[in-house]
Amino acid sequence: DAKTTQPPSMDCAEGRAANLPCNHSTISGNEYVYWYRQIHSQGPQYIIHGLKNNETNEMASLIITEDRKSSTLILPHATLRDTAVYYCIVRVQTQGGSEKLVFGKGTKLTVNP
Amino acid sequence: DGGITQSPKYLFRKEGQNVTLSCEQNLNHDAMYWYRQDPGQGLRLIYYSQIVNDFQKGDIAEGYSVSREKKESFPLTVTSAQKNPTAFYLCASSIAVKREAKNIQYFGAGTRLSVL
């Protein structure tokens, strides 16, 4: 019951910007978009999150469209160490009133030398 | 240094055996979670706990059990009732479970469980 759609794989040249898209057309007005990445055989790593405004931190930038139905994660200067699976996540409310992260299959980003 | 520690990194289970995976955090987080990941798949929620002495079933709780006797610890037992336990198990924690922007989940390095 993932609420997001991502391409299964993407390639990027080392040193170039990697732009990873995500569709979340059913997102509610007060739901945040979270991005995580998972390097092979490691635990997922938090990257960034946002609600309406574009966000930037030391790892990446997050661009959210005005209608909030899609977003793009930007890695400005991709390195080989950025090769990973990137997950775009919207929290889902549970029956008990709590919330959970629902991970889809993500986008496998391969950064090529 | 602060973080989430999972042990062991690799674990082997014999048929009919229960095994327990350890998860400890020193982040002073109230909420803790267990996920299962199968090859090429995303993470699926097994159990989560919002506070000490309380836990809730996730999407795939059958064949698993948990306890939350201490804030820092959330062990997961894979019972013999779990017929397909081979997977990568991930533990996470966050400040809270409910709707807050700061509810960022931080993950451990995982335990890889295999059946002998």
DSSP B54-91: EEEE-SS-TTEEE--SBTTB--EEE-TT-S---EEEEE
So what's the pLDDT on residue A110?
A: 98
Say how far apart CA B98 and CA A93 lie, in whole Å. Answer: 9
Verify whether the Cβ–Cβ distance B107 to A43 is below 8 Å. Answer: yes
pLDDT digit string, tens, across residues B40-89: 888 999 999 988 999 999 999 999 999 999 999 999 999 988 889 999 99
Examine the pLDDT at A92 and tell me if it is beyond 80: no
Say how far apart CA B45 and CA B52 lie, in whole Å. Answer: 19
Choose, out of B99, B106, B114, the residue to mutate when testing the contact with A (most A CBs < 10 Å): B99
So what's the pLDDT on residue B40?
A: 84
Residues of B in contact with A9 (CB under 8 A): none
Choose, out of A37, A87, A99, the residue to mutate when testing the contact with B (most B CBs < 10 Å): A99
Examine the pLDDT at A97 and tell me if it is beyond 80: no
Phi and psi at B83, nearest 5°, equal -80, -15
Q: Over range B16-42, report the average pLDDT.
A: 93
Higher pLDDT, A61 or A95: A61
Verify whether the Cβ–Cβ distance A103 to B42 is below 8 Å. Answer: yes
So what's the pLDDT on residue B2?
A: 65
Say how far apart CA A9 and CA A78 lie, in whole Å. Answer: 15
Residues of A in contact with B98 (CB under 8 A): 97-99
Residues of B in contact with A105 (CB under 8 A): 40-42
Examine the pLDDT at A62 and tell me if it is beyond 80: yes
pLDDT digit string, tens, across residues A27-58: 887 788 999 999 988 999 999 999 888 999 99
Nearest to A50, CA basis, from A26, A61, A34, A37: A34
So what's the pLDDT on residue B15?
A: 83
Cβ-Cβ pairs closer than 8 A, A with B, add up to 62
Across all residues in chain A, what is the average pLDDT?
90
Choose, out of B37, B51, B104, the residue to mutate when testing the contact with A (most A CBs < 10 Å): B104
So what's the pLDDT on residue B100?
A: 61
